[in-house]
C-alpha cells in the first residue's frame, strides 16, 4: 500500500518533527495535524509543521492512510477514541510512544478492528512543544516497530518504509521486549537523573547556587535530562511499571555492591567495572549513537 496522506495527532516535539521531516525530504506526502491545545495548533500553523492544522482529530484523520499518535503515552487511549468515528477503514494507526505494551493495549481497546502497528522512534531531546520540533530528529536513529500478532505484512512494510524515508533505521521487536530494553537504556537513566538533581537540590548543607555554580560535566548532563517533560515521563513510568521495577531491582543490587566496594576499600571492583563501562561508551560512539554530531546542537537550539 502507498502512504499519500499522514495525520499527526499531537503537534509537539515528535509530531512537529515528523511533519517537518516529511516536508524537508520531499516525500510527496500530504500532512494534516491536530492538537487538543489551541495554542499548540496556532504555533504549528505558524511554523508550518503540517500542511493543514485541523480543529478536530476527526478532521485531521478523515482522509489519512496513516495516523500517527504523538501524545503522552497516558493520553493515547483518549486520543484514539476521539478519532475513532472518522478513521478510514484502510488506515494504519501507529504512534511514537516511549512504552509499547500498554500503548498497544490502549489503542486496541479504543479502535477495535483497526490496523494498529505501534512504533517508537528512539530519538528525542529534553525539549517539548511545537517550537521544539526539527526536521533531522530521526536521521540515523533507530525506530523500533512492535507489530502485533497477525499484523498485515503490507501495512507493516508501508510503515517501515515511511520511517526509512525519514532517515531512520528500522528494527522489529516484540512489545514486551521493547519495554524491558528501553527500561534499562532510557527510562531508568531518566529516573536516575530526576533523582540525583532532586537530591542535590534538597541538601541542607550545600546551597542551590553552589549546586548550579559547581556543576561538573556529569551533573550538567543530568540536569539536561531532568529538564525533560514531567507529563511525558510520569506517563512512561506509570505505563512501563513492570519492566522499570524489574530493572530497578537489578540496578539497586549493583549499586549496593558498589557501595560495599567503596566502604571496604575494594579498588579492584571499582576499577574492573569502570574499565568495562568505558568499552561500552567506545562502542556507542563507533555505532554513531551519541548526539555529539557536529550539527546536532545547532539544529535543535541546545
Ligand X SMILES: O=C(O)C(=O)Cc1ccc(O)cc1
Q: Judged by CB under 6 A, does residue 17 bind ligand X?
A: no
Residue 124, interface with ligand NAI (CB under 6 A)? yes
Q: Which of 11, 101, 119, 159 binds ligand NAI (CB under 6 A)?
A: 11
Minimum distance, C-beta of residue 130 to ligand NAI, in the bound complex (Å): 6
**Using CB under 6 A, which residues numbered 160 to 199 contact ligand X?**
186
Residue 73: closest CA among 106, 44, 40: 106
Sign of CA dihedral 153, 155, 161, 166: negative
Q: In the complex, what is the shortest distance from the CB of residue 98 to ligand X, in angstroms, rounded to a whole number? A: 3
- Residues 187 to 246: which contact ligand NAI by CB under 6 A? 229, 232, 236
Indicate which of ligand X, ligand NAI, none lies near residue 129 (CB less than 5 to 8 Å, by partner kind).
Answer: ligand NAI
Strands 115-116 and 5-9 turn out to be unpaired
Cα separation, 146 vs 149, in Å, equals 9
Residue 73 as a binder of ligand NAI (CB under 6 A): the answer is yes
The answer to the question of residue 35 lying near ligand NAI (CB under 6 A) is yes
Nearer to ligand X, 14 or 29 (CB): 14
Q: Which does 144 bind (CB under 5 to 8 A by kind): ligand NAI, ligand X, none?
A: none
Applying CB under 6 A, does 44 fall inside the site for ligand NAI?
no
- Pick 74 or 200: Cβ nearer ligand NAI: 74
3, 7, 13, 106: residue in contact with ligand NAI (rule CB under 6 A): 13
Roughly how many angstroms between the first and final C-alpha of the chain, as a whole number?
39
The residue (of 51 and 266) whose beta carbon lies closer to ligand NAI is 51
239 binds, among ligand NAI, ligand X, none (CB under 5 to 8 A by kind): none
Beta carbons within 8 Å of 81's beta carbon, 6+ residues apart: 110
Considering only residues 216 through 235, tell me which ones interact with ligand X, judged by CB under 6 A: 225
Binding site for ligand X (CB under 6 A): 98, 122-126, 186, 225
Task: Note the residues at the interface with ligand NAI (CB under 6 A).
Answer: 9-15, 35-37, 40, 70-73, 75, 78-79, 96-98, 121, 124-125, 128-129, 229, 232, 236
Amino acid at each position: 500500500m502507498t502512504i499519500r496522506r499522514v495525520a499527526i495527532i499531537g503537534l509537539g516535539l515528535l509530531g512537529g518533527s515528523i511533519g517537518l521531516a516529511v516536508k524537508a525530504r520531499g516525500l510527496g506526502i500530504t500532512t494534516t495535524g491536530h492538537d487538543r491545545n489551541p495554542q499548540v495548533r496556532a504555533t504549528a500553523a505558524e511554523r508550518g509543521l503540517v500542511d493543514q492544522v485541523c480543529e478536530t482529530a476527526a478532521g485531521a484523520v478523515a482522509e489519512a492512510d496513516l495516523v500517527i499518535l504523538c501524545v503522552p503515552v497516558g493520553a493515547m487511549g483518549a486520543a484514539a477514541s476521539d478519532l475513532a468515528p472518522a478513521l478510514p477503514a484502510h488506515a494504519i494507526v501507529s504512534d511514537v510512544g516511549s512504552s509499547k505494551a500498554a500503548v498497544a493495549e490502549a489503542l486496541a481497546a479504543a479502535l477495535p478492528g483497526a490496523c494498529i502497528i505501534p512504533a517508537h522512534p528512539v530519538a528525542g531531546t529534553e525539549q517539548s512543544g511545537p517550537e521544539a520540533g526539527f526536521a533531522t530528529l530521526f536521521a540515523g536513529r533507530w525506530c523500533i516497530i512492535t507489530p502485533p500478532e497477525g499484523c498485515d505484512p503490507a501495512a507493516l512494510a508501508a510503515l517501515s518504509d515511511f520511517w526509512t524515508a525519514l532517515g531512520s533505521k528500522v528494527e522489529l521487536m516484540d512489545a514486551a521486549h521493547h519495554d524491558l530494553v528501553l527500561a534499562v537504556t532510557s527510562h531508568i537513566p531518566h529516573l536516575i537523573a530526576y533523582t540525583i538533581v532532586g537530591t542535590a537540590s534538597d541538601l541542607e548543607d550545600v546551597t542551590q547556587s553552589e549546586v548550579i555554580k559547581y556543576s561538573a560535566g556529569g551533573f550538567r548532563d543530568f540536569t539536561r535530562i531532568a529538564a525533560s517533560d514531567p507529563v511525558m515521563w510520569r506517563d512512561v513510568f506509570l505505563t512501563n511499571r513492570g519492566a522499570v521495577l524489574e530493572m530497578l531491582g537489578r540496578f539497586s543490587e549493583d549499586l549496593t555492591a558498589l557501595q560495599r566496594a567503596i566502604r571496604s576499600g575494594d579498588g579492584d571492583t571499582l576499577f574492573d567495572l569502570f574499565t568495562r563501562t568505558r568499552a561500552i561508551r567506545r562502542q556507542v560512539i563507533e555505532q554513531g549513537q551519541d548526539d555529539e554530531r557536529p550539527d546536532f546542537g545547532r539544529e535543535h537550539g541546545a
